[in-house]
């Protein structure tokens, strides 16, 4: 009998919250998809058998908030060296580009890299280019917000654009332009039947007012920041409107970059049962004076803050997959895209800081073992 499967991972501990699986399973792939998942799949049925005894097997990780318009917009990360080596097989660029520079991002990055990329289009025509190059906030000059062109760009790139990004912060807009920005983003999302992702760190608007613009499936990012207008009343107790927004279906994303999250506030939220829906990095490329944590480091932070492993996996697989839409990502169900992150949790002494003056120590962290992309073991391209 000739082998039936292209690849078989044997002996791992599968965690797939989408299917409520958590236990020892074998998983086999054919033609880039998950072909079988069960307690025992014979080795002789596969061309390539990889023993992953006692490692954690989960769907390929999804980073819902990063910046990957590499060399299109300054300080954007190279997706293939940032993501695939740690098990992130899908990533979302959130507003690096607007309708003017998105086509270049698509042609020269998204379509050329191995990492599966999606994007939120920035409401500003040039994305974050003006603030990063000239110091002019994204929509400080509201002539940069062009509704018709944004709608047209989304319509022309519906396969890759998930919605519209707005930044309510001094780098993103002015207090006077905050409401017009949210109103325009709402109209763009309605007209294209896509989502809003809104940056709320240092927002001039109270959370309650921001939530009023959001519909089920829209995303609040940097949702666990610790400065003014955060999701708590006092740095500790969750606001009623945060619970109501979650009830309505608003997605709470971490975007854990620099000052954009507060370790004590994250811990308080988790203790009250308010885990993040999606765990993401807000990762950028090398830039003097900045450090950012990659997705495994951010996952390790949330492990230390008290989230269960299964919930961390949910927040980096099926939950971000729901924001992306029906693409077969974030699950190991038969027929799904054959992406897997093989990880381990290893002991040691680790520390993390949030740039707001708080730090934590951790005795365990996630470490990468193997990445499977489209049903094959991923190896970095040599040379
Ligand atoms: Zn960001």
3-state secondary structure of 119: strand
Tell me how far the alpha carbon of residue 46 lies from the centroid of ligand 1, in angstroms: 41
The CATH number for 20's domain is: 2.30.40.10
In this structure, the dihedral spanned by the alpha carbons of residues 127, 284, 116 and 121, taken in order and rounded to 10 degrees, is: -10
Residue 53 lies in a domain: yes
Contact 114, 140 (CB under 8 A): no
Tell me how far the alpha carbon of residue 139 lies from the centroid of ligand 1, in angstroms: 15
Q: What angle do CA 342, 347, 351 make, to 5 degrees?
A: 105
Same structural domain, 32 and 79: no
Tell me how far the alpha carbon of residue 116 lies from the centroid of ligand 1, in angstroms: 18
At 1, the pLDDT band (50, 70, 90 cuts) reads low
Tell me how far the alpha carbon of residue 252 lies from the centroid of ligand 1, in angstroms: 14
Tell me how far the alpha carbon of residue 128 lies from the centroid of ligand 1, in angstroms: 10
The 161-167 sheet, strands edge to edge: 61-66, 88-94, 116-122, 161-167, 195-199, 219-221, 251-252
Tell me how far the alpha carbon of residue 204 lies from the centroid of ligand 1, in angstroms: 17
Residue 191 CA to residue 150 CA, distance in Å, equals 10
Tell me how far the alpha carbon of residue 265 lies from the centroid of ligand 1, in angstroms: 19
Tell me how far the alpha carbon of residue 282 lies from the centroid of ligand 1, in angstroms: 5
Instruction: Over range 207-222, report the average pLDDT.
Output: 97
Tell me how far the alpha carbon of residue 260 lies from the centroid of ligand 1, in angstroms: 9
Tell me how far the alpha carbon of residue 96 lies from the centroid of ligand 1, in angstroms: 8
Residue 107 lies in a domain: yes
Tell me how far the alpha carbon of residue 34 lies from the centroid of ligand 1, in angstroms: 32
Residue in this structure with the two tokens 């379509």, named with its chain if needed: 111
Instruction: Over range 112-120, report the average pLDDT.
Output: 98
Residue 330 lies in a domain: no
Residue 383 CA to residue 369 CA, distance in Å, equals 22
Tell me how far the alpha carbon of residue 159 lies from the centroid of ligand 1, in angstroms: 21
- Does position 340 have pLDDT exceeding 60, yes or no? yes
Task: Please identify, among 302, 324, 346, the residue that sits at the C-terminal boundary of a domain.
Answer: 324
Averaged pLDDT score across all residues of the chain: 95
Tell me how far the alpha carbon of residue 16 lies from the centroid of ligand 1, in angstroms: 27
Measured CA to CA in angstroms, residue 30 lies from 24, 25, 73, 331 at distances of: 21, 17, 37, 16
- Does position 382 have pLDDT exceeding 90, yes or no? no
Same structural domain, 21 and 155: no
- Does position 289 have pLDDT exceeding 80, yes or no? no
Tell me how far the alpha carbon of residue 350 lies from the centroid of ligand 1, in angstroms: 25
Question: Residue 308 is part of which domain span?
Answer: 61-324
Residue 165 CA to residue 271 CA, distance in Å, equals 30
Residue 297 lies in a domain: yes
Number of domains, the chain: 2
Contact 127, 138 (CB under 8 A): yes
Same structural domain, 40 and 88: no
Residue 148 lies in a domain: yes
Tell me how far the alpha carbon of residue 106 lies from the centroid of ligand 1, in angstroms: 18
Rounded to the nearest 5 percent, the helix, strand and coil shares of the chain are: 30, 30, 40
The CATH number for 119's domain is: 3.20.20.140
Same structural domain, 220 and 346: no
Measured CA to CA in angstroms, residue 108 lies from 76, 98, 151, 205 at distances of: 13, 15, 22, 36
Residue 301 lies in a domain: yes
The pLDDT of residue 229:
93
Tell me how far the alpha carbon of residue 222 lies from the centroid of ligand 1, in angstroms: 8
Tell me how far the alpha carbon of residue 250 lies from the centroid of ligand 1, in angstroms: 18
Tell me how far the alpha carbon of residue 344 lies from the centroid of ligand 1, in angstroms: 28
H/E segment holding residue 155: helix 147-156
Same structural domain, 50 and 174: no
Lowest mean pLDDT among 37-41, 225-229, 246-250: 225-229
Same structural domain, 352 and 269: no
Which tens digit of pLDDT belongs to each residue from 301-313?
A: 999 999 999 999 9
Phi and psi torsions of 201, nearest 5°:
-70, 130
Which tens digit of pLDDT belongs to each residue from 3-27?
A: 799 999 999 999 999 999 999 999 9
Residue predicted with more confidence, 11 or 382: 11
In 3D space, the residue among 63, 74, 126 whose CA is nearest the CA of residue 95 turns out to be 126
Tell me how far the alpha carbon of residue 233 lies from the centroid of ligand 1, in angstroms: 24
CA 130 to chain centre: 24
Same structural domain, 149 and 280: yes
Measured CA to CA in angstroms, residue 121 lies from 86, 156, 160, 197, 341 at distances of: 26, 12, 10, 9, 28
Residue 64 CA to residue 91 CA, distance in Å, equals 6
Tell me how far the alpha carbon of residue 131 lies from the centroid of ligand 1, in angstroms: 13
Same structural domain, 53 and 66: no
H/E segment holding residue 209: helix 207-212
Tell me how far the alpha carbon of residue 6 lies from the centroid of ligand 1, in angstroms: 37
Tell me how far the alpha carbon of residue 130 lies from the centroid of ligand 1, in angstroms: 15
Same structural domain, 358 and 315: no
Tell me how far the alpha carbon of residue 284 lies from the centroid of ligand 1, in angstroms: 8
Tell me how far the alpha carbon of residue 18 lies from the centroid of ligand 1, in angstroms: 27
Instruction: Over range 328-344, report the average pLDDT.
Output: 98
Tell me how far the alpha carbon of residue 283 lies from the centroid of ligand 1, in angstroms: 7
Residue 121 lies in a domain: yes
116 strand-pairing partners: 90
Indicate the pairing of strand 33-38 with strand 46-51: unpaired
Residue 120 CA to residue 108 CA, distance in Å, equals 17
Which tens digit of pLDDT belongs to each residue from 37-96?
A: 999 999 999 999 999 999 999 999 999 999 999 999 988 999 999 999 999 999 999 999
Residue 208 CA to residue 201 CA, distance in Å, equals 14
Tell me how far the alpha carbon of residue 331 lies from the centroid of ligand 1, in angstroms: 25
Same structural domain, 234 and 102: yes
Which tens digit of pLDDT belongs to each residue from 170-201?
A: 999 999 999 999 999 999 999 999 999 999 99
Return the structure tokens found at 30: 């054919």
At 383, the pLDDT band (50, 70, 90 cuts) reads very low
Residue in this structure with the two tokens 């954690």, named with its chain if needed: 56
Tell me how far the alpha carbon of residue 172 lies from the centroid of ligand 1, in angstroms: 11
Residue 264 lies in a domain: yes
Same structural domain, 50 and 70: no
Residue predicted with more confidence, 157 or 354: 157
Same structural domain, 367 and 289: no
């Amino acid at each position: 009998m000739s082998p039936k499967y292209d690849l078989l991972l044997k002996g791992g501990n599968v965690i797939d919250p989408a299917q409520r699986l958590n236990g020892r399973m074998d998983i086999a792939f054919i033609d880039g998809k998950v072909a079988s998942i069960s307690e025992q799949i014979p080795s002789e049925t596969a061309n390539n058998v990889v023993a992953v005894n006692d490692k954690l097997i989960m769907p390929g990780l999804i980073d819902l908030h990063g910046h990957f318009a590499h060399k299109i917009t300054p300080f954007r990360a190279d997706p293939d060296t940032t993501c695939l080596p740690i098990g992130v097989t899908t990533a979302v660029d959130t507003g690096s580009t607007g309708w003017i520079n998105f086509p270049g991002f698509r042609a020269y990055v998204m379509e050329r890299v191995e990492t599966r990329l999606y994007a939120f289009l920035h409401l500003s025509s040039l994305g974050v280019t003006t603030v990063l190059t000239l110091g002019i906030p994204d929509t400080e000059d509201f002539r940069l917000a062009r509704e018709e062109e944004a709608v047209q760009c989304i319509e022309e790139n519906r396969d890759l654009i998930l919605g519209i990004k707005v930044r309510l912060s001094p780098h993103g807009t002015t207090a006077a332009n905050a409401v017009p920005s949210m109103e325009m983003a709402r109209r763009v999302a309605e007209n294209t039947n896509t989502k809003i992702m809104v940056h709320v760190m240092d927002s001039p608007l109270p959370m309650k007012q921001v939530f009023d613009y959001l519909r089920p499936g829209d995303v609040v990012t940097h949702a666990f920041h610790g400065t003014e207008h955060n999701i708590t009343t006092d740095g500790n107790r969750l606001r009623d409107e945060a619970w109501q927004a979650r009830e309505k279906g608003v997605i709470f994303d971490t975007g854990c970059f620099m000052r954009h999250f507060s370790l004590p506030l994250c811990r308080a939220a988790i203790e009250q049962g308010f885990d993040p829906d999606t765990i993401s990095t807000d990762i950028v490329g090398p830039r003097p004076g900045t450090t950012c944590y990659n997705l495994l480091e951010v996952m390790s932070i949330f492990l230390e803050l008290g989230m269960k492993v299964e919930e961390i996996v949910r927040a980096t697989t099926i939950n971000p997959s729901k924001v992306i839409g029906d693409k077969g990502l974030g699950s190991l169900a038969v027929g799904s895209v054959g992406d897997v992150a093989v990880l381990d949790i290893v002991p040691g002494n680790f520390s993390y800081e949030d740039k707001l003056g708080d730090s934590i120590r951790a005795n365990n962290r996630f470490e990468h073992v193997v990445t499977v992309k489209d049903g094959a073991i991923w190896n970095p391209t040599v040379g």
